[in-house]
Structure 1
Amino acid sequence: MENFRLLDFLYQLSISPVYINIIGAFSFAFFITIISIPKIIRISFKKGLMDVPEARSSHVNKVPTLGGVALFFGIVVSTSIFATELGANYAFFLSAITILFFVGLMDDLLVVAPDKKLYAQLISTTLIIFGSGIMINSFYGLFGIYELNYWVGVIITYIVFIVLINAYNLIDGIDGLASGVGIVISLAFIFIFYRIFDYSIGILAISIVAVLVGFLKYNLSERFKIFMGDTGSMVIGFILTFMAIRFLYIAGLPSYSIVTAPVLLLFIFAIPVIDTLNVFIVRVLQKKHPLKPDKNHLHHQILKLGYTHIQTTIIIVIINIVFVIIGYYLRNLEINKLFLIFLLLSISFVALLRYLTYINNTNQKT
């Protein structure tokens, strides 16, 4: 009851409910995260729940991997209190992320086979498509395609969910990178959903920013370092994708008609999309299995140039911000022209990075 009295008191001060929810959601999610993580770190050390460095690891010491538990806890509590419409309109949303949470937790504790994680992602996506009714139903003229057949839309929605969830997971390779990119993407969605008055999804995006900011304090720490693990990367990746699909769904409504929405999302998800395509293409060209891990990710290429983890994270996050800004200012272009610009910028970025890496390797050999 005390919580309700506090809210009534704030309303009496003539503070807009929107601002109350924004401040409340951020505060709850942030403080829950920074309070929970130290306890998770202590338990991880006592029980030996640590990530052991291997050949591909970017760290040299054992590090706790259960940061995702705090992220999940902060998001669920914050949105349950301050985004009540989220539960009413998207009844299966919490069920979907809970499934991913437990499968991710099992993977961080026991190591789960990749196919089982894929099944969990498919089940969670099914709950969103058929439970909440959110799916891709149009390409808005991209490649000359407009309205999609229902089942074609369903299949494409599945593909987008699986690709983006795992693309976000793939960038979780160095300190702060997944969190930093996640914050940029979430900030873009905060701007979008408050502009179109979808406040419940806006609160969800605010909660993600809050938990990731709280997590960064420890992820970037030398003494109290922790990783988000698959628990965190799958849950955050799924929620970011959920918001993207929701945006596409709203963009097609007559009252909004945001005709460049699909390509705007490419600009928003620039780093995960570019990194995944880059790695996939390189592996295929090298005649390697496209799903076999290697060190061809964007962050690996920048690290080879001599930058530290923090510097590499800052560079990549800034690049994602630049893509978001470019996409926003060019949003009124014809959709296929905007897609071509995204493609040219992406290829130029990867080509420049490859060239700089080649020059750096050549100089080291001479």
Structure 2
Amino acid sequence: MMEYTILGVVLMIIMLLYFKVADRFNIIDKPNLRSSHTEITLRGGGIIFWFSALLYFVQHVQNNYFFFIGITLVSLVSFWDDIQSLSNKIRISIHFLSIALIFYDMNLFNTMPIWGIIIVYIIAIGLINAYNFMDGINGITGLYTLSVMLSLLYVNTKIQLFTDGTFIKYAMVASLIFLFFNYRKKAKCFAGDVGSIAIAFWIIYLVLKLILVTESLIWLLFLAVYGVDAVCTILHRLYLKQNIFEAHRLHLYQVLSNEFKIQHRLVALFYALTQLGISCLVIILYQKVQDTVIFLIVILPLICIYSSKFYLINKKGLSVNA
């Protein structure tokens, strides 16, 4: 317990120091027509996740060499993108390289056919970007991360040991420190790409390890809420013939927050608790029900919930192109 208390204090100090740097170099998030916030706020507070990974790596160099290089690369390019926009080609290239490092670390290139590698690449890149897409209101990234990490920690402790439990707890402590500054009516800071993408990379690494150890894809459902919202929104925007790389306000959480004026913190809590409930269901059904059936039990209701967005839009008299 003392280790995590000290970690929390150190991360708190790092965060306060970062605020001075961000303020000095004007690293801010200015609201625009697509934003869910209305005031200028410091950006990049999610850099705390990389620092937490650094502090763990310093103590466990032999275990997480490739992971740390990967999370450092995605954090650097994401932080650069927070300061000065980069092209999608550069960002995606770094994401591919970083994922290749963890694939190498897990020996996937020698144990999986090329078509399997391609599929895993697509899923990993998709999940990283989905996590980034969903980082739009106060508290959602920190709370959702806590729900995922709690689920992974329980599986690691009670069902199948697949990693060092401390590795998961370091991410959880970083999430709590970030939430202290972000889970407010007026957030002190936003995660920025550096935060959402770094923690997404961390989660993907853990979920992939769990999938390989258990030989079950069911653990992807620990990211079901974000996954369904992100995929359905992309399909919706393609149907509307919109550029999916441009900012928008068509995620369900954006409709609830921006158009129905539900407090950001309540919407974020709803997303996190929904995911936690789904994760508990997955854990209960694991090895008792076929994986395909579990996927259907989880995904179909989520699609129905997401589809309620169209009813809400029509009820509010909103334009789907807004």
Please indicate, yes or no, whether the TM-score normalized by the shorter chain is above 0.5.
yes
The reply to whether residue 177 of structure 1 matches residue 114 of structure 2 is no
Q: How many residues align?
A: 315
Q: Give 5+ residue unaligned stretches, structure 2.
A: none
Counterpart Cα distance in 1 of 2:15 and 2:252: 28
Question: How far 1:42 moved relative to its partner?
Answer: 2.1
Task: Look up the match of 2:50.
Answer: 72
SS in 2 for 1:53: coil
Residues 193, 316 of structure 1: alpha-carbon distance in 2 compared, 3 angstrom cutoff: same
Q: What amino acid does structure 2 have at the position aligned with 1:197?
A: L
The reply to whether residue 163 of structure 1 matches residue 126 of structure 2 is yes
Partner of residue 307 from structure 1, selected from 262, 266, 271 = 262
Question: How far 1:246 moved relative to its partner?
Answer: 0.5
- Structural mapping, 1:38-57, within 5 Å: 38-57=16-35
SS in 2 for 1:290: coil
Counterpart Cα distance in 2 of 1:134 and 1:24: 37
**RMSD (Å), alpha carbons:** 2.2
Is this contact kept in 2: 1:92–1:132, CA < 8 A? no
Larger radius of gyration: 1
Question: How far 1:199 moved relative to its partner?
Answer: 4.4
The reply to whether residue 344 of structure 1 matches residue 300 of structure 2 is yes
Partner of residue 231 from structure 2, selected from 263, 273, 277 = 277
Q: Give 5+ residue unaligned stretches, structure 1.
A: 1-22, 138-148, 253-260
Task: Look up the match of 2:162.
Answer: 198
Q: Percent identity?
A: 21
Task: Look up the match of 2:219.
Answer: 264
1:276-334 residue CA offsets vs partner (Å, 9 max, x unmatched)? 11111111221223333311112112222331111211122221122112222222211
SS in 2 for 1:275: helix
The reply to whether residue 105 of structure 1 matches residue 79 of structure 2 is yes
Counterpart Cα distance in 2 of 1:237 and 1:361: 35
Question: How far 1:161 moved relative to its partner?
Answer: 1.4
- Structural mapping, 1:1-366, within 5 Å: 23-24=1-2, 26-81=4-59, 84=60, 87-134=61-108, 150-195=113-158, 196-200=160-164, 202-221=165-184, 225-252=188-215, 261-266=216-221, 268-303=222-257, 304-331=259-286, 332-361=288-317
Counterpart Cα distance in 2 of 1:124 and 1:264: 21
Question: How far 1:76 moved relative to its partner?
Answer: 1.7
Tell me the TM-score normalised to structure 2 length: 0.90
Tell me the TM-score normalised to structure 1 length: 0.80
Counterpart Cα distance in 2 of 1:345 and 1:97: 33
Residues 297, 194 of structure 1: alpha-carbon distance in 2 compared, 3 angstrom cutoff: same
Counterpart Cα distance in 2 of 1:136 and 1:231: 31
Counterpart Cα distance in 1 of 2:166 and 2:108: 18
